[in-house]
A and B are shown apart, each in its own frame.
Chain A
Amino acid sequence: MLAINNIEVKYSDIILVLRGVSLEVPDEEIVSLMGNNGAGKTTTLKAISGMLATELGKVTEGSIMFNGKRIENGDAEVTVGLGIAQVMEGRRTLEHLTVEENLRVGGYKVSGDAKKNLERVYGYFPRLRDVRNSTAGYCSGGEQQMLVIGRGLMARPTLMLLDEPSLGLAPLLVEEIFGILKSINQGAKTALLLVEQNALAALSLANYGYVMENGRVVLDGAAEKLKNNEDIKEFYLGLNEVGKRKSYREVKHYRRRKRWLG
């Protein structure tokens, strides 16, 4: 369904961020993209969705194919219509709009029965129905994360790009949200490209995983295999408490361990 072939991405024509990145998301599968801060995960997602242009970024080499169509350097507004929904990192709700209005914006490109579409999303996220008339900015972190995922779902995508949905959420919530992601994948046959620093959680959900470092893919393999990979285990040792942010010491720990990926 999605194939990234050897792309290179530059910001402002000079800042080279991705080099020779290739990855694939097969139909209806969950693929996880891991790596530490600044590795280029978000940039990869933006290259797919067409959001690079809003930050003066560009795919300068290679191609991105979606269902046989080239979409690199496309327009984000068009890409949504093709069936790719990006859920940006950091729970970017439209904070002065209500929960339901946020969802309706998510369905902007979809013609047809908006009510039914809403009901479908409320089906996956019953909690959102309870707060449907609340101002999004005042919802809890978990509700906001559910909202932005549900909002992406409103576009009826066949591929969802999720950027660190677990960041800063309590373990129980992460479990709940990942469970819902699984049911979205199974129920709506939506493929997921899941960017995570929380490798353990990501690999428990994904079929396949890629690890990025310094703008390259340095490791990939089936999730089962990656889970048992000694390096991955050790790399994420300090991280495997779900949702915990990296502390400086852990980052340093990682730096020392860097050789294995280089």
Chain B
Amino acid sequence: MNTLQICLWGLQIGAIYGLIALAFVLVYKATKVINFAQGSIVMLTIYLCHAVISLGTFPIWAGLLLSAGVAIGLGLAINRLFMHPLVGQPLIAPVMVTIALLGLIQGLCIMVWGDIGGCRNFDPLGISAGALHIGQIVLLKPHTLGFIVTLVLFGLCALFFKYAKLGLGMRATAEDHQVAKVLGVPVMFVFAAVWALATLISLVAGFILGSMNGLELGIWQIGIKAIAVAIIGGLDSIPGALIAGLMVGVLEQLAGAYIDPYIGGGLMDVFPLIIMCIIIYFRPYGLFGLERIERV
């Protein structure tokens, strides 16, 4: 395997990390809640999507639309049932709730889908086995699709935050809840919208992951890497999530290819966390995190 090939794979896997980190960052930016349940939400959305698609014989696009609706509903429900009642409480309260949600959702998935847990045949688009050959380079189809979709979604996000009214309201909310409110930004609506957006993005990420590897009850673990990626990118930086995701993906694959053989493997899976520790040591705000502006 040549290095170029490894780097390309790293970029493609890193894009998925970035996408999940984006969902995490959106919630953090607007609400300041660190969503430890992010990984399990990815898992739940994709199992729900699987359930929706296996419901009947409607066309694939209808299944996807329906799944998107379900994912948005899930985000709104989490916000309404678990986050909304805690508005005004110390931030630690909702953060603890997300930790509870992490366990709760895992349990739920095992309960409902435990018997098909390792079902490997999630492939609604029929791309799982496909690959593109460009000279010596081999690019797997789901990975490539994921990469493109990720770039498009980040692009849409950038446009949304720059030009859409709600996007501007979200940025105002992210800066200062009180000021946003006093200016008439519907802060509670922004919270709900951000959760809906985050679960929708989680579904997209889950869908790609499912198409890559099939469904399994360990999918939630990718959330840990994604949180590490978000922290590296700066927690509240959207471009940071993408750049950190790509960076971590490449470094992780390189570590897997060139270091793992010598130490008997296992480094690849913890590599994002190692990178996170190193970066935090030198840059506490992450690579692109916003510092509070101190004007002299």
* In the complex, chain B residues whose CB is within 8 Å of the CB of A96: 171, 175, 290, 293
Q: Are A77 and B186 in contact (CB under 8 A)?
A: yes
Asked if B169 CB lies within 8 Å of chain A CBs, one says yes
Q: Are B172 and A105 in contact (CB under 8 A)?
A: yes
Q: Are B293 and A94 in contact (CB under 8 A)?
A: no
Q: Are A80 and B183 in contact (CB under 8 A)?
A: yes
Query: Which residue of A80, A101, A138 is within 8 Å of B182 (Cβ)?
Result: A80
User: Which residues in window 19-55 of A have CB below 8 A to B?
Assistant: 49, 51, 54
Nearest chain-A residue to B177 (Cβ)? Answer: A54
For the complex formed, measure the closest distance between the CB of A148 and the CB atoms of chain B, giving whole angstroms.
9
* In the complex, chain A residues whose CB is within 8 Å of the CB of B88: 54, 56
For the complex formed, measure the closest distance between the CB of A208 and the CB atoms of chain B, giving whole angstroms.
25
Query: Which residue of B180, B290, B293, B295 is within 8 Å of A105 (Cβ)?
Result: B180
Nearest chain-A residue to B172 (Cβ)? Answer: A105
* In the complex, chain A residues whose CB is within 8 Å of the CB of B183: 80, 105-106, 108-109, 151, 155
User: Which residues in window 70-128 of A have CB below 8 A to B?
Assistant: 76-77, 80-81, 86, 88, 92, 94-97, 101, 104-106, 108-109
User: Which residues in window 238-296 of B have CB below 8 A to A?
Assistant: 290, 292-293, 295
Q: Are A77 and B181 in contact (CB under 8 A)?
A: yes
Number of A-B contacts (CB under 8 A): 71
A54→B181 CA distance, assembly (Å): 9
Asked if B187 CB lies within 8 Å of chain A CBs, one says yes
Nearest chain-A residue to B87 (Cβ)? Answer: A54
* In the complex, chain A residues whose CB is within 8 Å of the CB of B182: 49, 51, 76, 80, 86, 88
Residue of B168, B184, B293 contacting most chain A CB atoms (<10 Å) = B184
A86→B185 CA distance, assembly (Å): 13
A94 in contact with B178 given A77-B184, A108-B169, A138-B293 (CB within 8 Å): no
Size category of the B interface is: 20 to 34
Q: Are A94 and B171 in contact (CB under 8 A)?
A: yes
Q: Are A97 and B175 in contact (CB under 8 A)?
A: yes
* In the complex, chain B residues whose CB is within 8 Å of the CB of A94: 171-172, 175-176, 179-180
* In the complex, chain A residues whose CB is within 8 Å of the CB of B178: 51, 54, 88, 92
Q: Are A105 and B176 in contact (CB under 8 A)?
A: no
Asked if A142 CB lies within 8 Å of chain B CBs, one says no
For the complex formed, measure the closest distance between the CB of B275 and the CB atoms of chain A, giving whole angstroms.
26
Asked if A137 CB lies within 8 Å of chain B CBs, one says yes
Nearest chain-B residue to A105 (Cβ)? Answer: B172
For the complex formed, measure the closest distance between the CB of B83 and the CB atoms of chain A, giving whole angstroms.
17
Q: Are A51 and B181 in contact (CB under 8 A)?
A: yes
Asked if A5 CB lies within 8 Å of chain B CBs, one says no
A138→B296 CA distance, assembly (Å): 9
* In the complex, chain B residues whose CB is within 8 Å of the CB of A60: none
Query: Which residue of A86, A97, A138, A155 is within 8 Å of B172 (Cβ)?
Result: A97
Nearest chain-B residue to A151 (Cβ)? Answer: B183
* In the complex, chain B residues whose CB is within 8 Å of the CB of A6: none
Asked if B84 CB lies within 8 Å of chain A CBs, one says no
A26→B176 CA distance, assembly (Å): 32
* In the complex, chain A residues whose CB is within 8 Å of the CB of B171: 94, 96-97, 101
Asked if A240 CB lies within 8 Å of chain B CBs, one says no
Asked if B165 CB lies within 8 Å of chain A CBs, one says yes
Nearest chain-A residue to B169 (Cβ)? Answer: A108
Q: Are B184 and A138 in contact (CB under 8 A)?
A: no
Asked if A185 CB lies within 8 Å of chain B CBs, one says no
Inter-chain pairs besides A77-B181, A94-B176, 4 sampled, C-beta below 8 Å: A51-B182, A76-B182, A95-B293, A138-B293
User: Measuring CB to CB, which residues of chain B are less than 8 angstroms from any residue of chain A?
Assistant: 88, 165, 168-169, 171-172, 175-187, 290, 292-293, 295
- For the complex of A and B, the 4 pairs showing the least CB-CB separation, nearest first, are A137-B293, A80-B184, A109-B184, A94-B175
User: Measuring CB to CB, which residues of chain A are less than 8 angstroms from any residue of chain B?
Assistant: 49, 51, 54, 56, 76-77, 80-81, 86, 88, 92, 94-97, 101, 104-106, 108-109, 135, 137-138, 151, 155
What would 5 A/B residue contacts be, using CB atoms closer than 8 Å? A51-B178, A104-B168, A108-B168, A109-B184, A138-B293
